[in-house]
Structure 1
């Protein structure tokens, strides 16, 4: 997709001009498949950055990963691709011929799958019987609008998550709002959030409240809505429309209070008195137990590690406790194991979550986590080949420049790679100097730099902005795409937040995994310590 929303991607060495491409047409640009294992058992497959899972009423597991949605059969454990990896943006086509970038999925009572598509900023529906995909909400302009009208004409600020309420209405989470699509009329309305990404309005009407950057959403059996926020809180919107904080103190992690974060106990403690750090995902059981993933500070051999952990909150008592995990048949030591996101529960008391490129099933009774899909294998192809014959490593983000060249963040191989909009060839443009022992390449050619890219943006001057996560710390780096020179613009290499109101290059930045630019090219991101900077 170009910035104007048109398809302009090469099929052959000589690309089609944009003027020859039809509306809704898109070409396959890379690899065709960036995963393995279709038609085989799921535990032998390879996943690409799994983001969310959901279980239907028959126990089948759906996995949203980069550019595809895959299904693990409940009876056979066979994994198949049901959506994505195709070459069409049109409605009414088979879902496995479509092009999507799913960031969240939900399933209704009839087994139809609903997809938040980050490429088009829209909600799509995949029919359970025909597997046809259609757009039901969103008009691709990445701008809030269309409230109180048909959802198909609405615009979204930025889609984050979605879930069904007990009445079958679809709830869509944006960073500063919750919107509801009525199941009968398909009319969309804002039910919470004032559009400002600052925490405010607790104990008042949810419509007047500010969200401190919402990250996830779920609903209990009574219809109460819960959101995780980067402001280090979990909040509840009651059926009376009042919003309250039910977990997290909202305190920011600093060098002065980090000791209290390390030493705190969660066992039996009131959840609202526990220090949460960037709660990233939540899910609720049928008996109203809320599970949350956030970052736990663990001291190991005099080193403080930031590990993703799972906790549970009894919504009746408000008490919290940690969820123990024992890894089954897996090589990673538990001390190095970090949960990236919980997604869903089945009807058998199992919780599904992801870590790296693997989806696990956690038996809540025994605490044993079993890998059920994915592996640590990362596919990679050499530079200079046509992208349709390549595999793209661990692609975690994409960005376009003004000439419609596509840039891919390959975190596993430490590269940013470019797909030329004219030739269709793949080249590495950042990273790859694995022999470097001194420095990280700042001030020199980007291709000679050391980098671990997790997010990309291109500013108005065609500079590539990279969120570089190495050594448990984040730096923001800029590549002048004309000269190829790389420089650091923020972060000093220390893995804790510091340096507010000072030079960005002298500030410490804890790990984070996304960034966004505003219209003036200011950079915003949320750190793992829960700070919006």
Structure 2
């Protein structure tokens, strides 16, 4: 058992010297101020006198101070005593015939008034009174005697039953009713039943406010602490005992128990179970053999009981080693393990002593309640005669005490009134695993903890052979036992029900709604949602000691956990400390229609004129667009309580527009240029990199990964002292930076640092955390459109499912590759034989339930292949996405909905299929391509979910896959386009029938076929470039010319074709009448690397249309009519400069038009109707052919890179033109002057 090895661990830890963390003295003073409290005023000593005969009295004395009582009632001595002082009350009778006795006369004052000194006097030879003395009451309680006479009591003090009881008769006082929100309990439950002696009987009841939940006192009947801790992330904080180095302590260390000390000086040695009432946490300090009491408000730590200071009496029982009853420190405990309380009494479980003890919280009087001390499994109607074997946990629920008798592998129940002990579930010493409808037929491997909620008891069970699970015992019928979470494998995996795994689940508590579990060997705190059985890790990872967030918050054998309805407390056994969990998130601007803080009231103040826009989840008015000219949002107050610089995280969704300027700040805490820290974005040039800015201290280097323009991306800046990290879409950049900032002074800002470097673009869901969020949490935060997302594979370095169902994939052969933005390890490459698989997936849409299945793919082969699928490989019973060299679609197993496509080999494409019975729709790059009705579709659960191959193992994919999504609902078109981004087929005049579509010509570098050949360098020589408009206007190497060169990074890191005027490279085909229309809109991305001479871009026939750049003297963009030998449109001045990457757009309506650069209109002049025709010549790309001979002397050739070239045969609307410009801006990282949808 673990507990026998802990002392060695503690001795080892205490002998290790650890460096201390130097803190600012002001921080220490602030800490002391936080834990200061009002001066203590003392506690009164009093009780009750009953049974006085008329004409008699009793004089009661304590410490030479006397009070005389002439009638029944309560007395209080005038002088109050301080905590820790002793009292000893005596009496003398006054008058003949009066006989009295006293109870509860001695004790040590703790933290409340003493009200239970009882003086009982006789009123006759054979008849006596039964009375009830109540304290702390608010409301009305109901008590009964012998199930007959009832008292409704609404005032504190003594109330008597009217019926007198004869000597030798039985009495049984029961508490039958009490108001909600009040807990009333007997000071000594065992005295509520008995036989009348020759004296009155007074039963004492103490009431406190609250509810008993999970064996602790809560302010409300139930709460949901887990939702906040999960949603706002969990920070673990030390409140007493040894403190971690990163919180100003010296690390884990042990120490002895002292009478009273502050939280920093307090020391524990092997803290075990903890329990709480309204004001205090009680901790079983096992090795020190005492019970500690920690004030919740200030951390002051005292000793409640234990220590064997002298004066105790040996416990009743057979084996009484190290066991003494007594007052406070006079008592002695033997292996304190478990604690639970009812607000009046503390019930103490001894593992080594094998018994249950009781401590009155007002007097600290310790008595033995149950257990003989023998290591056995005997039930008995008398608790003292029952036996236990290494019991590990005790919890009060519904008036009973439940004990985990670990050595016997049973669950025991104790009646607090009669002390009777019985076995509820399991078989003594029959330690194995078995669920069973009858509790005593069920088997436990090695049960540890227990807690009650609703109609069930929940038990953690560990050990090989069926342990590492959470079991459940029904409290109705035959006490059936089943398993609700854990599969028996000793691991620590989040999941649903038995798909989850636990690594030595130890402690267990409830907030009245769900469960919290401490993992001994996993060093984690887990949350179990009892509605969904979903298991989520809140905090912890490897063994260690750190106050921090999520997986960066470290624990060391956290054995015990409790909820008081407001916080979750942890006895961190290996670190000898008491810790608690709190939310990590300090501020959150969702920007859903406003700039308010959804965490507190630190609302954002808007400067400039930001406008509300659609966010990353396609929510209208869910983000702010900042226009780069003084627009920003800052917090009302500084984030300086505490002043954070060592461990932190800030995240945001951003949609950068870019600019031709320099750095922009996405967010900043403090004053830019002086202090604080923030995230800077290089908005100009090709890199679009991020960096850490520390004001006057200076910036870090730039990230390796870039931030794509006009696309939603999730960014995070974290610091786990001393390391700064930057994440983009869940991927950590390899940037290394460890510099300390100047402490922040100033507000938190979004879109600026306070020094005029304004961000241009959209921002949504900005969050500020104390503590550094771990990698796994960051990946989960980077999920776009999460509503209804049951399974999601972002493929950011792993194959985990970041949807709700956790259908993690196993990999066969697939390897990590770059994603569509060029980020390494952001996708997976499949080689035609590789695949991924999840056996027995859960939660996927079945039958005719609605769904959406989406994915990004980059296909490199010509055969039919499958992207993702699930269900049964029987006609109409499976579902997923399929693609061949000629079609895309949603398959239903021999019952598919597909559409011909225009070719997309080696091009990243977004494919979505939706099913809303019976309607099927297929979307390609955000465009509805085909729809159909499938009355026969009804998905049936199959053996696996497959990625990269068909359900029967055939049709394996060749190429890259990324961002596979399965929803349990139908996404809207706006949601699908938010995922896909803009694409040229999204314009309103596009039609999938090429003859009816405005899109006539679409070249892109990805459509190039290249290899060894006649080009500079002899490799990547382009032979053919396919037209992806659907019109089949493919172009090939020009006759007699060298070939253009394919470059994977030619244009701002994106693919491009290198044309060279010195050798006359160009691409050609026959003159094409469809491209000589009078009206047109043309888009091109290129750069001119040599402005000497004119540069041809597009030339269609000797009498057709020419688009070119004029000689260096003007470098004007010109649309020329070769038939009429005249200019149709020309820029009024220079259009571009040398080596400048240009996003060009030109529209012409047949008589006039506009020329655009980066979305802005460039001054130009138009010259009437054209006369283009195809009477002769060719369509040339990259050449203006003007003479005879051979290249390069037969024309003006482009010298530079060219990206996409797109031709529409009409003038597009502004909205349509901007769609295409946004597509090109995103692809080639070129800024635009206008916003993108």
Contact 1:50 1:354 in 2 (8 A): yes
Q: What is the deviation of 1:170? A: 0.7
* Residues 1:316 and 2:535 aligned together: no
Partners of 2:568 and 2:392 lie apart in 1 by: 24
Q: What is the deviation of 1:222? A: 3.7
Partners of 2:547 and 2:475 lie apart in 1 by: 44
- Among 209, 217, 221, the alignment partner of 2:450 is 217
Partners of 2:283 and 2:271 lie apart in 1 by: 10
- Among 95, 104, 109, the alignment partner of 2:337 is 104
Partners of 2:294 and 2:262 lie apart in 1 by: 8
* Residues 1:273 and 2:273 aligned together: no
* Residues 1:50 and 2:277 aligned together: no
Give 1:181-220 correspondences, 5 Å limit. Answer: 181-220=414-453
Partners of 1:109 and 1:335 lie apart in 2 by: 32
| 1:106–1:367 CA distance, 2 compared to 1 (3 A) | farther
Partner of 2:154: none
Contact 1:196 1:210 in 2 (8 A): no
Q: What is the deviation of 1:270? A: 0.8
- Among 235, 242, 245, the alignment partner of 2:471 is 235
- Among 404, 417, 421, the alignment partner of 1:173 is 404
Partners of 2:357 and 2:502 lie apart in 1 by: 33
Q: What is the deviation of 1:208? A: 0.8
Q: Secondary structure at the match of 2:264?
A: helix
Contact 2:272 2:560 in 1 (8 A): no
Residues 229-268 of structure 1, C-alpha deviations (whole Å, 9 max, x = no match): 33211100012311001111113x5xxxxxxx5xx741xx
| 1:110–1:310 CA distance, 2 compared to 1 (3 A) | closer
Partners of 1:180 and 1:285 lie apart in 2 by: 22
Partners of 2:423 and 2:364 lie apart in 1 by: 30
Residues 487-506 of structure 1, C-alpha deviations (whole Å, 9 max, x = no match): xxxxxxxxxxxxxxxxxxxx
Partner of 2:389: 157
- Among 103, 108, 131, the alignment partner of 2:364 is 131
- Among 293, 307, 311, the alignment partner of 1:71 is 293
Give 1:21-40 correspondences, 5 Å limit. Answer: 35-40=256-261
Partner of 1:94: 327
Q: What is the deviation of 1:51? A: 1.2
Partner of 1:295: 521
Partners of 1:185 and 1:362 lie apart in 2 by: 36
| 1:265–1:177 CA distance, 2 compared to 1 (3 A) | closer
Greater RCO (CA < 8 Å, at least 6 residues apart):
1
Contact 1:125 1:134 in 2 (8 A): yes
- Among 371, 374, 388, the alignment partner of 1:141 is 374
Partners of 2:258 and 2:390 lie apart in 1 by: 32
| TM-score, scaled relative to structure 2 | 0.24
| 1:75–1:290 CA distance, 2 compared to 1 (3 A) | closer
Partners of 2:274 and 2:403 lie apart in 1 by: 16
Q: What is the deviation of 1:319? A: 0.6
Q: What is the deviation of 1:37? A: 4.7
Partner of 2:306: 84
Q: What is the deviation of 1:34? A: 5.8
Partner of 2:584: 366
| 1:282–1:367 CA distance, 2 compared to 1 (3 A) | farther
* Residues 1:346 and 2:582 aligned together: no
Q: Secondary structure at the match of 1:272?
A: helix
Q: Secondary structure at the match of 2:521?
A: strand
Residues 354-411 of structure 1, C-alpha deviations (whole Å, 9 max, x = no match): 142432333342289xxxxxxxxxxxxxxxxxxxxxxxxxxxxxxxxxxxxxxxxxxx
Partners of 1:154 and 1:79 lie apart in 2 by: 34
Partners of 2:453 and 2:265 lie apart in 1 by: 35
Residues 312-367 of structure 1, C-alpha deviations (whole Å, 9 max, x = no match): 1101110111113597669xx94874342132112313332314243233334228
Q: Secondary structure at the match of 1:207?
A: helix
Residues 9-36 of structure 1, C-alpha deviations (whole Å, 9 max, x = no match): xxxxxxxxxxxxxxxxxxxxxxxx9615
Residues 106-127 of structure 1, C-alpha deviations (whole Å, 9 max, x = no match): 3332331111123421110011
| TM-score, scaled relative to structure 1 | 0.53
Partners of 1:328 and 1:344 lie apart in 2 by: 20
Partners of 2:459 and 2:444 lie apart in 1 by: 12
Q: Secondary structure at the match of 2:561?
A: strand
Residues 95-141 of structure 1, C-alpha deviations (whole Å, 9 max, x = no match): 31122134323333233111112342111001122211111101112
Q: Structure 1 or 2: larger strand share?
A: 2
Give 1:240-279 correspondences, 5 Å limit. Answer: 240=476, 241-251=479-489, 261=491, 265-266=493-494, 269-279=495-505
| 1:37–1:366 CA distance, 2 compared to 1 (3 A) | farther
Partners of 1:367 and 1:163 lie apart in 2 by: 32
Q: What is the deviation of 1:156? A: 1.1
Higher-Rg member (1/2) = 2
Contact 1:323 1:367 in 2 (8 A): no
Partner of 1:481: none
RMSD (CA atoms): 2.8
Q: Secondary structure at the match of 2:526?
A: strand
| 1:39–1:108 CA distance, 2 compared to 1 (3 A) | closer
Partner of 1:256: none
| 1:195–1:359 CA distance, 2 compared to 1 (3 A) | same
